[in-house]
């Protein structure tokens, strides 16, 4: 199978490309990046061809593309790839506006190509094990969720409101909303949130706390932030606590690690030994392209985006937003 990469602006592009290289039946046939220095370096690293023009790249023979651009450019690249009849894996969030997300879904449907959204947390072993417990009825009826997604400030275009469309709340809400929707099989109907910049002197939010209510009454809290400082021993967390009528279970997608002490500026680090979620995502996408059936749809991306954007609206208007 022939796959192309569209932009290496997002750091996940490197782990996704690493995943492609592990698959014997997949060829990375080219990289489009109009940042020529970055694109040429990536092409050299992965021993493939660099394209500085998107139109030239999309003329190449390939089955699918992986979009890892700045958030604001997701729509542009997805629409162009869909018109070129390429299946698509798009980095989250799907877009920066509801209108753009809906247009992306429509154009992909019209061109009969799959649009998959990059939610790698679904491929964490502990997260999957908890899903199995829920499906087997071992937690009983779900009453509530508590979730967190707290990491380090990525800087660069992520803290530029024009290019990112939002800060930590957009960046770190969509993952766990997707997991809760996946676990429960229901949609969120209301959002109440407090959003601000608490940890950095930046012109964009770096933290938010929200209360969510699902159809049927299940409640959830979510803590999203860029609150981890540079010397923190691990990048961050992605936790979910599921409160059921039979038992309560909590997991952290990044908790499988060893504590390593060394001499130096960062004396303590956590060495992760768990499964590679990004590779799981890539392997799943390749199977979805073969079957022409997305496992994490554009609609999944849209519903997570709706919640994140509603959190901003709730904080600004100081009221609960109904979805």
The interaxial angle of helices 12-21 and 36-45, nearest 10 deg, is: 30
Question: Is residue 299 included in any domain, yes or no?
Answer: no
The pTM of this model reads 0.95
Question: Is residue 289 included in any domain, yes or no?
Answer: no
Tell me: do 231 and 313 sit in the same domain.
Answer: yes
In the block, tokens 């530029």 appear at 160
Tell me: do 145 and 227 sit in the same domain.
Answer: yes
pLDDT > 90? residue 265: no
Q: Which residue range(s) make up the domain with 77?
A: 2-113
Tell me: do 72 and 129 sit in the same domain.
Answer: no
Tell me: do 179 and 270 sit in the same domain.
Answer: yes
Q: E strands within 153-263?
A: 188-196, 207-214, 219-228, 239-244, 248-252, 257-261
Tell me: do 101 and 160 sit in the same domain.
Answer: no
Distance CA(58)–CA(75), nearest Å, equals: 15
pLDDT > 90? residue 254: no
* pLDDT tens, position by position, 142-171: 999 999 999 999 999 999 999 999 999 999
- Using only C-alpha atoms, the chain has a radius of gyration, in whole angstroms, of 19
* pLDDT tens, position by position, 38-69: 999 999 999 999 999 999 999 999 999 999 99
pLDDT > 90? residue 111: yes
Residue 317 maps to which CATH number? 3.30.360.10
Tell me: do 43 and 138 sit in the same domain.
Answer: no
Residues paired with residue 215 on neighbouring β-strands, in sequence order: none
Question: Is residue 274 included in any domain, yes or no?
Answer: yes
Model pLDDT, residue 204:
97
Distance CA(72)–CA(76), nearest Å, equals: 8
Tell me: do 152 and 172 sit in the same domain.
Answer: yes
Tell me: do 139 and 207 sit in the same domain.
Answer: yes
Would you list the DSSP string of 89-113?
EEESSS-SSHHHHHHHHHHHHHTT-
Band of pLDDT at residue 263, cut at 50, 70 and 90: confident
* pLDDT tens, position by position, 172-217: 999 999 999 999 999 999 999 999 999 999 999 999 999 999 999 9
Question: Is residue 297 included in any domain, yes or no?
Answer: no
Q: Three-state SS for 155?
A: coil
Residues paired with residue 27 on neighbouring β-strands, in sequence order: 2
Question: Is residue 31 included in any domain, yes or no?
Answer: yes
Tell me: do 109 and 129 sit in the same domain.
Answer: no
Question: Is residue 285 included in any domain, yes or no?
Answer: no
Tell me: do 165 and 64 sit in the same domain.
Answer: no
pLDDT > 90? residue 257: no
What's phi and psi for 200, nearest 5 deg? -140, 155
Question: Is residue 284 included in any domain, yes or no?
Answer: no
Q: What's the total number of domains in the chain?
A: 2
Cβ neighbour number for residue 114 with a 10 Å cutoff: 22
What average pLDDT does range 118-147 have in this prediction? 97
When the pLDDT of each residue in the chain is averaged and rounded to a whole number, the result is 96
The closest alpha carbon to 118, from 57, 171, 46, belongs to 171
**% of residues, the chain, pLDDT over 70:** 99
What average pLDDT does range 116-125 have in this prediction? 97
Angle formed at CA 141 by CA 138 and CA 144, multiple of 5 degrees: 110
Would you list the DSSP string of 6-35?
E---STHHHHHHHHHHT-TT-EEEEEE-SS
Band of pLDDT at residue 233, cut at 50, 70 and 90: confident
Tell me: do 48 and 93 sit in the same domain.
Answer: yes
What average pLDDT does range 234-244 have in this prediction? 93
């Amino acid at each position: 199978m022939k796959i192309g990469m569209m932009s290496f602006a997002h750091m996940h592009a490197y782990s996704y490309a690493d995943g492609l290289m592990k698959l014997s039946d997949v060829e990375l046939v080219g990289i489009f990046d109009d940042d020529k220095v970055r694109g040429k370096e990536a092409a050299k690293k992965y021993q493939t061809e660099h394209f500085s023009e998107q139109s030239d790249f999309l003329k190449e023979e390939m089955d699918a593309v992986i979009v890892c651009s700045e958030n604001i450019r997701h729509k542009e690249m997805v629409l162009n790839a869909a018109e070129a009849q390429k299946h698509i894996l798009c980095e989250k969030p799907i877009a920066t506006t509801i209108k753009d997300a809906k247009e992306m879904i429509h154009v992909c449907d019209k061109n009969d190509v799959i649009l998959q959204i990059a939610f790698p947390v679904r491929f964490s072993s502990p997260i999957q094990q908890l899903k199995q417990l829920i499906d087997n009825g071992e937690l009983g009826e779900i009453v509530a969720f508590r979730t967190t997604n707290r990491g380090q400030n990525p800087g660069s275009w992520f803290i530029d409101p024009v290019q990112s469309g939002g800060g930590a709340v957009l960046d770190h809400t969509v993952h766990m909303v997707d997991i809760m929707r996946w676990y429960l099989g229901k949609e969120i109907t209301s959002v109440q949130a407090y959003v601000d910049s608490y940890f950095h002197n930046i012109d964009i939010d770096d933290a938010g706390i929200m209360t969510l209510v699902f159809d049927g009454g299940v409640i959830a809290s979510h803590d999203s932030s860029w609150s981890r400082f540079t010397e923190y021993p691990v990048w961050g967390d992605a936790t979910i606590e599921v409160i059921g009528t039979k038992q309560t279970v909590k997991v952290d997608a990044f908790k499988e690690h060893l504590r390593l002490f060394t001499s130096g500026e960062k004396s303590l680090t956590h060495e992760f030994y768990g499964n590679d979620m990004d590779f799981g995502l890539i392997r799943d996408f390749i199977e979805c392209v073969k079957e022409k059936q997305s496992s994490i749809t554009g609609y999944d991306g849209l519903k997570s985006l709706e919640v994140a954007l509603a959190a901003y609206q709730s904080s600004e208007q100081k009221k609960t937003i109904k979805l």
